[in-house]
């Protein structure tokens, strides 16, 4: 059975298109901002398709080695078919190498167009104490000199500074925002984006993914919070406090 080598250039072409066009076409679009949860699905779905295409190309290239071995076994060394089989065996790996170089060169050009994500992760104190239960989620207070709210895997964390400075309405808005992060598993999505970034540190698409996931998660949390609080209150909370 001959490995379907034609699939390799098609798969690699898709990888090139995804990794170069996604960071240019997706960020900043009105549809993406209006529907952040759908936008998150589009981002991860697009990059997943590129990963599947890459795996498919590698699988077929590996399968071609087996085909080559069968052809070489069936033909004496030095014959025309033997040389042809040897040459064909190099084709998939040459395609992979050329594609890899092309992606790297294209991304060197695209990289300046992608603004770097600045995710500030504060150094939290080791001690935090539970202060309330909000809609089934544990809320813990940490001692920090800044007005900060964020989530861990299973808790809402607020600084003592924020709790003291916020009005009841503002604190309510902050908690609804953070609860949405927990309910929509944004911690896991951000971790997955960071993992993709770790696997492909030179790709503009993976760099853009980290920044976009952070922003889209914040938009999605705001949309959820606005179902419970009014917009001026949420806006004032964002302007006064650091809400992650």
Side-chain half-sphere exposure of 96, counting CA atoms within 13 A: 16
Let me know if 220 is exposed, middle or buried by CB neighbors in 10 A (0-12, 13-18, 19+): buried
Let me know if 24 is exposed, middle or buried by CB neighbors in 10 A (0-12, 13-18, 19+): middle
- pLDDT tens string 46-61: 888 888 887 777 777 7
Q: CA 163 → CA 117, 175, 177, distances in Å?
A: 28, 11, 15
CB 4 within 8 A of CB 60: yes
- pLDDT tens string 1-46: 445 666 777 776 777 777 777 777 777 778 888 888 888 888 888 8
Let me know if 25 is exposed, middle or buried by CB neighbors in 10 A (0-12, 13-18, 19+): exposed
- pLDDT tens string 84-112: 555 555 555 555 565 555 555 555 555 55
């Amino acid at each position: 059975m001959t490995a379907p080598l034609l699939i390799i250039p098609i798969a690699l072409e898709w990888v090139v298109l995804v990794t170069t066009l996604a960071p240019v076409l997706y960020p900043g679009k009105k549809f993406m901002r209006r529907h952040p949860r759908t936008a998150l699905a589009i981002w991860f779905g697009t990059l997943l398709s590129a990963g599947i295409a890459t795996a498919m190309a590698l699988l077929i290239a590996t399968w071609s080695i087996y085909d080559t071995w069968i052809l070489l076994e069936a033909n004496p060394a030095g014959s025309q078919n033997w040389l042809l089989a040897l040459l064909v065996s190099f084709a998939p790996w040459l395609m992979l190498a050329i594609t890899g170089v092309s992606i790297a060169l294209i991304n060197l050009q695209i990289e300046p167009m992608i603004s770097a994500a600045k995710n500030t992760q504060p150094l939290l104190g080791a001690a935090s104490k539970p202060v309330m239960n909000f809609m089934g989620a544990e809320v813990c207070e940490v001692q920090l000199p800044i007005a900060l709210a964020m989530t861990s895997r299973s808790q809402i964390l607020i600084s003592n500074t924020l709790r003291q400075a916020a009005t009841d309405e503002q604190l309510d808005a902050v908690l609804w925002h953070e609860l949405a992060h927990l309910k929509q598993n944004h911690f896991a999505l951000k971790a997955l984006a960071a993992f993709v970034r770790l696997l492909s540190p030179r790709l503009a698409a993976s760099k853009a993914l980290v920044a976009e996931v952070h922003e889209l998660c914040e938009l999605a949390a705001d949309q959820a919070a606005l179902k419970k609080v009014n917009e001026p209150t949420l806006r004032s909370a964002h302007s006064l406090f650091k809400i992650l």
